[in-house]
Structure 1
Amino acid sequence: MKRLPAIAALVVLAALPGTALAHPGHGAGGGLVAGLLHPLTGADHLAAMLLAGAWAGIIGGRAARVLPVALLAAMLGGFVTAALVPAGLAEAMIGASVVGLALAALLRLRPPLWLAAAGVALAGLGHGFAHGLEAPGGVARIGFVVGFLLTAAVLQLAGLGVVALVGRALPLRSAMWHKVG
């Protein structure tokens, strides 16, 4: 029961998005500011980025560095190739990413690093597809993508930080917490 606060926090994060809520509202004209703010307004994106960071922290070690980079790189790839993907697939990938990341974090899964990186990359790809389909065009698109990726990185760091704080605050004996804290 000592893990109850951490588990409860992850359950709340996982339960936030009932459906993929990230797509409308890219801001009038798009651009950097819209990109910076947008990930904070979609519960699905917010939950996925926080959960990805938390899972990276739970795994610890190199995963705390590799997983966030893998997610961001795949998200950028999704932005670039979005026109090749049907919107329904992007939506399904987003929903699956939130559920998958929540389960991975809640169950404290510790797969090999390559498999964890592939999992978060798949999540990032889905988010990149969805937002690439609806991002503004022209020069505003570049600003939007840069802002979006910056905020996604900060959200992942926040997830890592929560795990580090919980690991320090709770007297857990798990090796997972010692790697982070």
Structure 2
Amino acid sequence: MRKISLTLILLLFVFYSCNSTDNIIKNTEVEYLQNKDITIIHDFIQPIQIQGKWKKTNYEEEFGNRKRDYFLYLKDDKNILGIYLKTNKTRSNFIDRKKFFDNSISKEIEYLEEIGITYELKTTDNENYQLYKFRSLSRDEFYGLIGFKNRKIFYLSVYNNNLTEKEKEFFLTNLFLNLNT
């Protein structure tokens, strides 16, 4: 538990320099629709729908006293999911979608490099997302996805030591591709 908390705190520093709404966690409502088996996250930039039954975790209390809260942590039966969302401010004057993606992703990676989080690219579709194996300053490893959808940047991370690397990759990729915004 201590390893996860240190990693989460380091991730919070990554996004501290980003412009975002203060106290997102406190203002965010999570609603589960049993008949559709989806969870709706309200009060982000716009509502987000994700598959399955998720609820907020106690990580919100851990970061509740900070001036800015960027992450929402959700929990299902097996996983803890970290979500961060912001508007993509990269100019969209690129004709080639791949060039737009490359330019957008390079700006996001700069944030990680600034605070010393190392990363290894695991997989990408070269137009929508890249999946990484991150290593924090304390040498903790975790999986995360940086993706672009509807002019928004999504950071998703999964915390579950019982999953293999391939299972984490599949989980994050599947979750991102099935997000409705």
TM-score norm. by structure 1 comes to 0.30
Q: Which has the higher helix share?
A: 1
TM-score norm. by structure 2 comes to 0.30
Q: Which has the higher strand share?
A: 2
